[in-house]
């Protein structure tokens, strides 16, 4: 076909652009009929094409003819008159007016691309002028609707004290715990202290967090201990691994649920309890202890915590610890078929155990060592160098916590210190003369209790903020050794 050649189309476009586009709008157009001749085509309404012009050259009979215009032209023209263009409609360019009169298969890719781009811009403009559709709801977990608990999920409930529970009784005075004791609850027992007597039967059935008065009138706070409080107050043989150091070691080893962890030096069982909670029911902790008395103490503390947990929560604590009363240096046969995700060493000479335990540690895993003296750290690293063990020391750290005292300022007589205003300005909203306030119950100032008798306006009480006098002392150095695969 002659019109399908790009040169013919381009020649026609140049001709139409030369004579102008007015003829396109009035329906008068000259289109190429052959290589050297042109014929006249008039835009007529549908149904009248058979009555006008030469029937021999109708578009239906010619392969090279143009497509018949549709009943409703796309350029917004109606037969016989011009429709008013809306404000949001875009006027057609000369290229679009010409290309719409030609068959689609005769247009080049460049012309099609130029036609599509203005149409996209027009749709964007129309979308900005028309009312916006409501935004779809997000498919993620976030929702603006009010949250409601699923009906199948069990709601948390407060469990009252029962016989067999672990109870922590606290008496606070002057912003510190003056008395703190952990005991197992029984139906006929009693708690005795210098501040009075409390019978166990008065505690059974009450909810944790309640305050009870002793026989002498002092108020004790009764609650269940957390795991870090349990390991600090439980019966112990050797010195325990303190919770602040244990948590740092767990992060070093990256212990997670399902891991297998080797521990050397059970001690009193403090580190073992934290490892047991970290590995969960799908994990396992293998703990070695060379001394039989320390081994027995660790087992009893572990079983005591498991029993109290079952009473308080109604579910069993995982029985995921294997206590072995043996020196790990001579226990290679006990762990010959095991591979561990991490190792925790808490012993006097850990460099002696490293040649045995490193074979059962995964490549790239961490061995965390708990040492009390810096000279032990030197001996450990020297042992790694001497035995040419595949470990490199990532860090040696010491965990220090500084406790702060933040409390309202008090005068020597126990009253609140006044907030001094600028000169010439009288304090407002402060009860009592000179901004001083006396508590209704003098015993409250002595006990430092939780109840407040008189409330002062917000921002009228000065505060003291400073570190505690008795700051924490040194506990241990933590060494992080990572196993690598030699080249």
Nearest to 182 by CA among 236, 243, 230: 230
Q: Averaging pLDDT over each range in 201-205, 216-220, 260-264, 355-359, which range is the top one?
A: 260-264
pLDDT tens digits, one per residue of 390-402 = 999 999 999 998 8
Contacts of 154 (CB under 8 A, 6+ apart): none
> Would you state the pLDDT for residue 380?
97
Residue 351 burial by Cβ neighbours in a 10 Å radius (0-12, 13-18, 19+): buried
Q: 250 with 334, same domain?
A: yes
Half-sphere exposure of 117 (CA within 13 A, CB side): 8
Query: Is there a domain that residue 360 lies in?
Result: yes
Nearest to 84 by CA among 76, 73, 72, 92: 76
> Would you state the pLDDT for residue 115?
64
Last residue of a domain, one of 104, 126, 148: 126
Q: 270 with 360, same domain?
A: yes
Band of residue 100 on the pLDDT scale cut at 50, 70, 90: confident
Band of residue 99 on the pLDDT scale cut at 50, 70, 90: confident
Q: Tokens for 135, please give them.
A: 């935004």
More confident residue, 100 or 233: 233
Q: 272 with 383, same domain?
A: yes
What size, in residues, is the chain?
487
Kindly list the distances between the CA atom of residue 140 and the CA atoms of 135, 146, 151, 316, in Å, as whole numbers in the listed order.
Answer: 14, 15, 21, 35
Q: Kindly state the DSSP code that residue 394 receives in the 8-state scheme.
A: E
Band of residue 17 on the pLDDT scale cut at 50, 70, 90: low
We report the CATH number of the domain holding residue 201 as 3.10.330.20
Last residue of a domain, one of 176, 204, 225: 225
Query: Is there a domain that residue 451 lies in?
Result: no
Query: 123-132, 192-201, 330-339, 395-404: which has the minimum mean pLDDT?
Result: 123-132
Q: 212 with 262, same domain?
A: no
Separation between Cα atoms, residue 41 and residue 107, nearest integer Å:
20
Kindly list the distances between the CA atom of residue 192 and the CA atoms of 177, 208, 438, in Å, as whole numbers in the listed order.
Answer: 17, 19, 32
Q: Is the pLDDT of residue 170 over 70?
A: yes
More confident residue, 403 or 302: 302
Band of residue 247 on the pLDDT scale cut at 50, 70, 90: very high
Separation between Cα atoms, residue 122 and residue 116, nearest integer Å:
10
Query: Is there a domain that residue 141 lies in?
Result: no
Band of residue 81 on the pLDDT scale cut at 50, 70, 90: low
Q: Is the pLDDT of residue 60 over 50?
A: no
Separation between Cα atoms, residue 357 and residue 264, nearest integer Å:
9
Query: Is there a domain that residue 90 lies in?
Result: yes
Q: 183 with 82, same domain?
A: no
Q: 216 with 267, same domain?
A: no
> Would you state the pLDDT for residue 186?
92
Query: 99-108, 299-308, 328-337: which has the minimum mean pLDDT?
Result: 99-108
Kindly list the distances between the CA atom of residue 196 and the CA atoms of 55, 163, 179, 214, in Å, as whole numbers in the listed order.
Answer: 121, 22, 11, 5
Q: Kindly state the DSSP code that residue 376 receives in the 8-state scheme.
A: H
> Would you state the pLDDT for residue 462?
87
Residue 453 burial by Cβ neighbours in a 10 Å radius (0-12, 13-18, 19+): exposed
Query: Is there a domain that residue 429 lies in?
Result: no
More confident residue, 320 or 8: 320
Q: Kindly state the DSSP code that residue 169 receives in the 8-state scheme.
A: E
Q: 243 with 221, same domain?
A: no
Q: Domain span at residue 325?
A: 237-401+478-483
Query: Is there a domain that residue 295 lies in?
Result: yes
Q: Averaging pLDDT over each range in 207-211, 418-422, 427-431, 471-475, which range is the top one?
A: 207-211
> Would you state the pLDDT for residue 435?
42
Q: What is the mean pLDDT of the chain?
A: 77
> Would you state the pLDDT for residue 94?
73
Is residue 169 within 8 Å of 191, Cβ to Cβ?
yes
Q: 205 with 242, same domain?
A: no
Q: 190 with 305, same domain?
A: no
Q: 21 with 49, same domain?
A: yes
Q: Tokens for 111, please give them.
A: 């012309």
Q: 220 with 249, same domain?
A: no
Q: Kindly state the DSSP code that residue 290 receives in the 8-state scheme.
A: S
Query: 39-53, 179-193, 282-296, 329-343: which has the minimum mean pLDDT?
Result: 39-53
Quote the percentage of the chain above a pLDDT of 90: 47
Query: 56-65, 217-226, 298-307: which has the minimum mean pLDDT?
Result: 56-65
Query: Is there a domain that residue 67 lies in?
Result: yes
Q: 185 with 287, same domain?
A: no
Quote the percentage of the chain above a pLDDT of 70: 65
CA torsion angle 268 272 273 275 (round to 10)? 160
E strands, 174-259, are: 176-184, 190-193, 196-199, 210-213, 219-223
Query: Is there a domain that residue 357 lies in?
Result: yes
> Would you state the pLDDT for residue 382?
96
Q: Is the pLDDT of residue 145 over 80?
A: no
> Would you state the pLDDT for residue 91?
67
The whole-number average pLDDT for the span 45-52 is 44
* Total domains in the fold of the chain: 3
């Amino acid at each position: 076909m002659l019109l399908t050649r790009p040169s013919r189309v381009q020649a026609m476009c140049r001709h139409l652009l030369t004579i102008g586009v007015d003829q396109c709008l009035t329906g008068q157009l000259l289109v190429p009929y052959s290589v050297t001749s042109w014929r006249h085509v008039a835009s007529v309404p549908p149904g009248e094409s058979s009555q006008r012009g030469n029937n021999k050259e109708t578009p239906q009979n010619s392969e090279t003819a143009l497509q018949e215009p549709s009943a409703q032209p796309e350029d917004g023209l109606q037969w016989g008159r011009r429709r008013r263009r809306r404000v949001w409609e875009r006027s057609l360019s000369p290229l679009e007016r010409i290309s719409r009169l030609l068959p689609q298969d005769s247009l080049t890719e460049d012309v099609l691309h130029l036609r599509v781009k203005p149409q996209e811009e027009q749709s964007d403009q129309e979308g900005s002028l028309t009312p916006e559709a409501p935004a779809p709801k997000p498919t993620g977990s976030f929702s603006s609707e009010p949250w409601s608990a699923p009906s199948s999920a069990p709601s948390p409930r407060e469990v009252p004290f029962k016989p067999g529970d672990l109870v922590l009784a606290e008496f606070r005075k002057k912003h510190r715990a003056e008395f703190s004791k952990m005991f197992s609850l029984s139906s006929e027992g009693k708690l005795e202290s210098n501040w009075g007597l409390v019978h166990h039967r008065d505690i059974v059935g009450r909810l944790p967090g309640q305050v009870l008065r002793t026989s002498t009138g002092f108020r004790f706070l009764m609650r269940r201990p957390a795991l870090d409080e349990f390991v600090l107050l439980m019966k112990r043989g050797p010195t325990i691994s303190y919770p602040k150091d244990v948590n740092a070691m767990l992060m070093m080893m990256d212990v997670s649920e399902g891991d297998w962890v080797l521990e050397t030096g059970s001690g009193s069982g403090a580190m073992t309890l934290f490892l047991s909670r970290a590995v969960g029911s799908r994990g396992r902790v293998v703990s070695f202890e060379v001394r039989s008395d320390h081994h027995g103490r660790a087992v009893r503390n572990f079983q005591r915590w498991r029993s109290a947990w079952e009473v308080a929560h109604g579910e069993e604590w995982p029985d995921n610890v294997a206590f072995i009363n043996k020196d790990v240096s001579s226990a290679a046969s006990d762990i010959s078929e095991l591979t561990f995700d991490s190792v925790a060493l808490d012993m006097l000479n850990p460099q002696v155990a490293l040649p045995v335990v490193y074979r059962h540690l995964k490549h790239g895993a961490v061995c965390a060592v708990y040492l009390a003296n810096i000279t032990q750290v030197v001996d450990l690293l020297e042992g790694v160098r001497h035995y040419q063990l595949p470990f490199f020391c990532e860090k040696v750290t010491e965990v220090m916590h500084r406790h702060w005292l933040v409390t309202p300022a008090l005068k020597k007589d126990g009253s609140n210190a006044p907030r001094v205003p600028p000169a010439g300005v009288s304090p407002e909203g402060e009860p009592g003369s000179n901004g001083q306030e006396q508590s209704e119950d003098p015993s409250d100032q002595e006990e430092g209790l939780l109840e407040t008798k008189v409330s002062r306006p917000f921002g009228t009480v000065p505060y003291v903020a400073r570190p505690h006098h008795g700051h924490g002392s040194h506990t241990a150095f933590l060494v992080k050794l990572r196993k690598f695969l030699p080249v």
